[in-house]
Amino acid sequence: MKQLSLDNLRTFVGVIEQGGYAKAGEWLGRSQPAISLQIKKLEEQLGKKLFTKSGQRHLPSSDGNWLYPKAKEILELNDSIFRSLDPTPLRGRLRLGIPNEFASTLLPGLIGEFSKRYPDVSLEVTSALSRELLHPSRRSDFDMILALVNPEQDTDGDVVLEDEVVWVGDPAHPLTNQSIALVLAPDGCIYRSRVINHLKQQTKAWKISYTNADLSGLVAAIQQGLGITALARSSLPANLTVLRHPNLPPLGGINVCLFMQSTQHPVVSRTLADFITRRLRER
């Protein structure tokens, strides 16, 4: 017997309600290719084309419009079953520390889904550089920390994803054979250190053209043609792309780790950790 994937249905609803694959990806905390793959699987299973493309927008087809209210009903029924059968609804306040780039790409969809399922949980989120979040003077400020750690570094965190550091840019501003212009976060950023260390080992000229601690500021600078940057592949914004060029050396791997702190609400903390882990591995 055929069975629909609730996850694919949720993505389908997200594309319609957010107005496209890229915005749905930002809302759900997934990459645009992951969104496209889920829609493709749903279309193949149903044997129907659910969207038509108009410029850069994906509009629901007649079959997509027919499916939309039914998909909403299925998802609401699923969510209501879990809410009704949960003998101990999660309650409490949770303080989460998260790197700036994940706050922009992972949090919007995750927070929406988590808050809908557990409305009595209050999330207090702080975004900063991983090094700042893990500093001994700040760790007690959080119940849970998501942070980036070099693979060779000893850590007391749980590795939830072994990721790759990639060069990132805007396809509208292709890389040339001239000096490499860099758009980076301030000193202390793990990407900044990785990029500079690798570029120092080669002869190609490079310069830092712009510095900003906020990912949205870096993205805006990249889209203005000020340069390129480096990020963990799982935190790649939907409007940028991975760059491959002979002048760009490989940047190696990075571990995305969760650090579970002492908390008054361990069940809430563990549930959110499962949400974050699942979302990161889906990207």
H-helix or E-strand spanning residue 132:
helix 130-133
Q: What are phi and psi of 279, to 5 degrees?
A: -65, -40
The pLDDT of residue 243 is above 70 = yes
pTM greater than 0.75: no
CA angle 234–105–199, rounded 5-degree value: 55
Rounded to the nearest 10 degrees, the angle between the axes of helix 62-85 and helix 107-117 is: 50
**46-68 average pLDDT score:** 87
Token pair listed for 121: 């949980």
Q: What is the dihedral of CA 82, 112, 282, 153, to 10 degrees?
A: -110
Residue 13 identity (one-letter amino acid): V
Predicted pLDDT of residue 254 = 94
Q: Which range scores top for mean pLDDT: 121-130, 181-190, 257-266?
A: 181-190
Q: Are 95 and 143 in contact (CB under 8 A)?
A: yes
The pLDDT of residue 84 is above 80 = no
**30-47 average pLDDT score:** 88
Please tell me the CATH code under which domain 6-85 is placed.
Answer: 1.10.10.10
CATH of 91-283, one of 3.40.190.290, 3.30.70.360, 3.40.50.280, 3.40.390.30: 3.40.190.290
Residues 6+ apart with CB under 8 A from 26: 18, 105, 108, 109, 237, 238
CATH 3.40.190.290: which residues of the chain? 91-283
How far apart CA 161 and CA 232 sit, in angstroms, is: 10
CATH 1.10.10.10: which residues of the chain? 6-85
**171-197 average pLDDT score:** 89
Predicted pLDDT of residue 87 = 58
Per-residue model confidence as pLDDT tens digits over 214-237: 888 999 999 999 999 999 998 888
